[in-house]
Amino acid sequence: MAIAAAQQIDANSRTINSNEAMLSESTWTFAAATTGAVAAHTVFTVTGNVLVSVFGVCDTTLDSGGAPTIEMGVTGNTAALIAQSVGKSLADGEVWVDATMTRVGVGAIPSMQVLNDGNDIILTIASATVTAGVIDFYCLWRPLSSDGNITVTTPA
């Protein structure tokens, strides 16, 4: 029996054989006037249709003069990838995968999500500025459409 489908290959002509085949990393150092400001910040730029799983590893405890909330998602669904959390509660050594901030040194990989039409992955900071801290954001992904791609957006 013949299967009328083709295998996807990457830029090195290797078969993409996993939903987590690609890895992109974006390190965010939070500063009040820029990366920690109350706003939606693009972390990963998406082209086409992709399958993604996103999580964060805290390298330096987040700080704020208030109680900032943080969430990861897309425009119109800002907590679709990681549920809203109190940013000041994220401490060095914790893995951010959901609203619970108690995953010291370990966290399950969140489920895969489909992003369509180049919906960029955004970090939304609300209610108060994040004044300090560092998170490494990881995106495990694979393309679905022929133009599917994810690139790291330089934190600004």
Q: Find the CATH number of the domain harbouring 90.
A: 2.60.120
Contact by Cβ (8 Å): 22, 142: yes
9 located within any domain: no
Supply the mean pLDDT for the chain: 89
Say which residue the tokens 């959390």 belong to.
85
7 located within any domain: no
Tell me the C-alpha distance between 72 and 81, whole Å.
5
> Which three-class secondary structure state does DSSP give residue 134?
strand
Residue numbers of the domain that contains 50: 24-103+110-147
Tell if the pTM clears 0.85, that is, is over it. Answer: yes
66 located within any domain: yes
User: Structurally, how many domains does the chain consist of?
Assistant: 1
Dihedral, CA of residue 63, residue 34, residue 58 and residue 141, to nearest 10: 150
154 located within any domain: no
4 located within any domain: no
Closest CA to 23 of 119, 145, 125, 109: 109
84 located within any domain: yes
pLDDT digits (tens, 9 = 90+) for 31-78: 999 999 999 999 999 999 999 999 999 999 999 999 999 999 999 999
